[in-house]
C-alpha cells in the first residue's frame, strides 16, 4: 500500500463535506448533510445520508472539537438536513466493495466514535439528543442510539429500523443490538422482532417498545426539540464563561519506515512485523499551574501526546494491517510526568482537566481494543510512571531490564512509579482499572501494589509485585525481546486476536465491553461468510433486483 492510498484522519471544520455545525450559546445543532459524490472511494455514491469512513472521521473530529473548543456547549442536537431521511446507515455498496480488514476496522472506529458521544454525556455533562426528523435505518438508528435521548418526528412515515439481518445477512455493525437491550431496555422478544422487521417501527409503537423516547408532530417538531435541548443544557455542569482551546493540526512526518510526531516516534520493522513506539516525555517539569496549561492549549505535552497516540493507532490499524506487534518504549524525565499528574490531580473539577483525562482514557482503550499484540519495554531512561505507567499495565507482555547496559555509563537502572491515577483515572471498557484487571481475584496482591503507590520500584520490586511479566539482565535482554517478537509474528493473527481479547478484559461486563467482545468476533465471522459476502451473498445482491442464495445450514 502506497502512502497515497492510506486512510487520512486529518480534518477540520473548514474541510467538512458531510456535516454542518451550528452553535447557538449553550446548544449546538449538528446536521447530517452527506455529499453523495464525496466518498473515500469513487465506486459508490453516499445516497440518502448513508455514510462511509470519511463521514465518520468528520463526526469524530466534531465530537472532539465540541469537547475541547466549545466548553460553553451543554447540549448537542443531532439531526438531518434532509427532512425525509435522518440517515440510511452505512453505505451498502461501500461495504460490498471493501476488504474484510476495512469493514471490521470501519465498524470498530464508528463504534468508538459513538462511545465518545456517550462518554461526553456521562462524564463531562454534554447532553446529546437525536432529533430524528426522517427515517433512521441501520447505522442511522445506531447513531441515534448513541445519543442520550431520541425524539422521532410523527409524520406517518418516518421509522427506525435495523434491516441488516433480513436484507444484508449481517448484524447492525456498531453495537445497535446491545444498545437496544442494554441501554434502552427494550424487551428481548420485541428486540428480536424489531431486528428482522426491515420496514421498521414508527410513531407510538416505537415509544411503547422503548425504541425512542417520544414522538412529536412535524408541525412543532423543531420548536419542541429546541425547547427540550435548552432544558437539558440548563442542567449541565459544563462552564458558561470559559474559553475553549483550539485543536491545532498535528505535526506529523511519514514515510514507508516511520511515523513521527513531536512527542512520539513510530518505527516499522517489517521483518519482525512490529512497530516500535517511542514516547517522548519532557526533560523538565514544564507546566506548573492551570493557567499555563490552558495558555499552551493543544500544545500542552500530555494532551499533544494523547492526540498523537490516537492518530498513530488509527493510522496503523487501517494502513499497516500486517504489523503484528506494537512495542512501547519511553524517554524523558519521570519527575516531569509525575508533576503533570499532580497538576491534573490538584484541579479535578476544571472542565479542561476532565476532558484531558477522559481523552487519555479513551486513547488507552483504543490501543487495548486494537487487534495487535501490545508489548512494553522498560529500560534505563524510561519514564513509565503515573499516567505513562498505563502503557505498561495495558501491555500483553511487559519486559523490564534488571540493571543497566554496560556500554552506557551515564544511565541509572529503570524504575516504575505507580500512583492513585493508575487505580482511579483510566478505567478500561469494563469500568475497572488496569491494576484491578491485572490482579482480578487476587486481592492480597492488589493490596500489596497499592501499598507501594508513590515508590520507585526497581526491576526486582516490579517482579515481586507482579506489575511486569518478566525481568531480564543485559545478557539476555536483546535475545528475549527478539524471540518474543519473532514468535508473535509466527502465530496466526486470527488466533492471537482472539487470545488477547479474551485475556485483556477480565471481570465484569459492561455494555461497551459486550459490544467490542461479541460484535467484533461476530463481524470477523459474518463478514467472511458466503451468505453475506459471497458472489450470491446478500451484500453483493443488494440493489441488483436478484435475491441472495443462502447456504441454509445453521452452524
- Predicted confidence band of residue 4 (pLDDT cuts 50, 70, 90): very low
The mean pLDDT value for 286-299 works out to: 91
Instruction: Compare 469 and 541 and report the one with higher pLDDT.
Output: 469
Which residues are the active-site residues?
142, 164
Q: Round to the nearest angstrom and report the end-to-end CA distance of the chain.
A: 36
pLDDT of residue 202: 95
Q: What are the tens digits of pLDDT across the range 524-542? A: 788 888 888 888 888 888 8
CATH C-level class of 7-234: alpha beta
Q: Is residue 6 pLDDT above 90, yes or no?
A: no
User: Is-same-fold flag (7-234; 255-504)?
Assistant: yes
- Predicted confidence band of residue 342 (pLDDT cuts 50, 70, 90): very high
Cα–Cα distance, 57 to 35 (Å, whole number)? 14
pLDDT of residue 334: 95
Q: What are the tens digits of pLDDT across the range 109-143? A: 999 999 999 999 999 999 999 999 999 999 999 99
The mean pLDDT value for 40-52 works out to: 95
Find, among 329, 442, 341, the residue nearest to 381 by Cα: 329
The 397-401 sheet, strands edge to edge = 253-254, 258-260, 264-269, 274-280, 325-331, 373-378, 397-401, 470-472
| Percent above pLDDT 70 for the chain | 99
Q: Is residue 554 pLDDT above 90, yes or no?
A: no
Domain at 255-504, CATH from 3.90.226.10, 1.10.150.50, 3.40.630.40, 1.10.3720.10: 3.90.226.10
pLDDT of residue 5: 62
Residue-averaged pLDDT of the chain: 94
| Percent above pLDDT 90 for the chain | 84
- Domains in the chain: boundaries: 7-234, 255-504
Find, among 257, 395, 259, 389, the residue nearest to 325 by Cα: 395
Check: CB of residue 134 under 8 Å from CB of residue 80.
yes
- Predicted confidence band of residue 2 (pLDDT cuts 50, 70, 90): very low
**Cα 391 vs. chain centroid, distance in angstroms?**
16
The mean pLDDT value for 89-118 works out to: 93
Q: Is 427 left (phi over 0), alpha (psi -120 to 50) or beta?
A: beta
- Predicted confidence band of residue 287 (pLDDT cuts 50, 70, 90): confident
Q: Is residue 3 pLDDT above 50, yes or no?
A: no
511-161-93 Cα angle (round to 5):
95
Q: Which of 41-55, 134-148, 160-174, 340-354 has the least mean pLDDT?
A: 160-174
pLDDT of residue 416: 98
Amino acid at each position: 500500500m502506497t502512502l497515497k492510498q492510506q486512510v487520512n484522519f486529518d480534518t477540520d471544520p473548514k474541510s467538512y463535506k458531510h456535516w454542518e455545525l451550528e452553535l447557538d450559546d449553550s446548544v449546538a445543532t449538528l446536521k447530517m448533510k452527506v455529499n453523495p459524490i464525496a466518498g473515500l472511494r469513487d465506486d459508490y455514491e453516499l445516497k440518502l445520508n448513508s455514510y462511509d469512513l470519511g463521514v465518520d472521521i468528520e463526526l469524530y473530529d466534531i465530537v472532539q472539537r465540541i469537547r475541547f473548543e466549545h466548553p460553553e456547549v451543554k447540549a448537542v442536537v443531532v439531526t438531518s438536513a434532509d427532512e425525509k431521511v435522518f440517515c440510511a446507515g452505512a453505505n451498502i455498496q461501500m461495504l460490498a466493495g471493501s476488504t474484510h480488514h476495512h469493514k471490521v476496522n470501519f465498524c470498530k472506529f464508528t463504534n468508538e466514535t459513538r462511545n465518545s458521544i456517550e462518554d461526553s454525556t456521562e462524564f463531562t455533562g454534554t447532553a446529546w439528543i437525536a432529533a430524528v426528523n426522517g427515517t433512521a435505518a441501520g447505522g442511522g438508528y445506531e447513531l441515534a442510539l448513541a445519543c442520550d435521548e431520541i425524539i422521532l418526528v410523527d409524520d406517518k412515515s418516518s421509522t427506525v429500523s435495523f434491516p441488516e439481518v433480513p436484507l444484508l445477512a449481517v448484524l447492525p455493525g456498531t453495537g445497535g443490538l446491545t444498545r437496544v437491550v442494554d441501554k434502552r431496555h427494550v424487551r428481548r422478544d420485541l428486540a428480536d422482532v424489531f431486528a428482522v422487521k426491515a420496514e421498521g417501527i414508527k410513531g407510538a409503537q416505537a415509544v411503547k417498545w422503548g425504541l425512542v423516547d417520544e414522538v412529536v408532530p412535524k408541525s412543532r417538531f423543531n420548536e419542541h426539540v429546541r425547547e427540550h435541548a435548552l432544558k437539558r443544557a440548563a442542567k449541565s455542569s459544563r462552564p458558561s464563561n470559559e474559553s475553549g482551546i483550539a485543536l491545532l493540526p498535528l505535526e506529523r512526518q511519514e514515510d514507508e519506515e516511520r511515523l513521527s510526531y513531536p512527542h512520539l516516534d513510530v518505527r516499522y520493522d517489517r521483518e519482525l512485523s512490529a512497530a516500535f513506539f517511542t514516547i517522548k516525555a519532557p526533560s523538565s517539569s514544564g507546566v506548573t499551574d492551570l493557567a499555563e496549561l490552558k495558555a499552551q492549549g493543544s500544545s500542552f505535552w500530555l494532551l499533544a501526546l494523547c492526540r498523537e497516540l490516537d492518530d498513530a493507532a488509527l493510522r496503523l490499524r487501517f494502513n499497516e494491517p500486517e504489523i503484528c506487534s506494537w512495542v512501547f518504549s519511553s524517554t524523558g524525565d519521570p519527575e516531569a510526568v509525575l508533576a503533570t499528574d499532580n497538576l491534573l490531580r490538584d484541579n479535578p473539577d476544571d472542565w479542561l482537566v476532565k476532558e484531558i483525562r477522559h481523552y487519555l482514557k479513551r486513547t488507552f482503550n483504543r490501543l487495548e481494543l486494537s487487534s495487535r499484540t501490545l508489548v512494553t519495554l522498560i529500560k534505563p531512561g524510561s519514564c513509565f510512571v503515573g499516567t505513562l505507567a498505563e502503557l505498561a499495565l495495558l501491555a500483553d507482555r511487559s519486559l523490564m531490564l534488571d540493571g543497566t547496559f554496560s556500554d552506557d555509563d551515564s544511565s541509572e537502572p529503570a524504575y516504575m512509579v505507580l500512583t492513585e491515577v493508575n487505580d482511579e483515572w483510566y478505567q478500561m471498557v469494563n469500568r475497572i482499572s488496569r491494576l484491578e484487571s491485572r490482579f482480578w481475584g487476587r486481592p492480597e496482591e492488589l493490596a500489596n501494589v497499592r501499598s507501594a503507590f508513590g515508590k520507585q520500584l526497581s526491576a526486582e520490586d516490579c517482579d515481586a509485585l507482579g506489575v511486569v511479566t518478566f525481568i531480564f539482565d543485559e545478557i539476555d535482554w536483546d535475545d528475549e525481546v527478539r524471540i518474543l517478537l519473532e514468535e508473535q509474528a509466527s502465530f496466526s493473527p486470527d488466533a492471537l486476536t482472539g487470545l488477547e481479547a479474551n485475556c485483556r478484559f477480565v471481570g465484569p461486563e459492561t455494555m461497551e465491553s459486550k459490544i467490542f467482545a461479541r460484535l467484533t468476533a461476530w463481524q470477523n465471522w459474518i463478514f467472511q461468510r458466503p451468505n453475506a459476502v459471497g458472489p450470491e451473498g446478500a451484500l453483493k445482491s443488494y440493489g441488483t433486483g436478484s435475491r441472495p442464495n443462502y447456504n441454509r445450514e445453521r452452524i
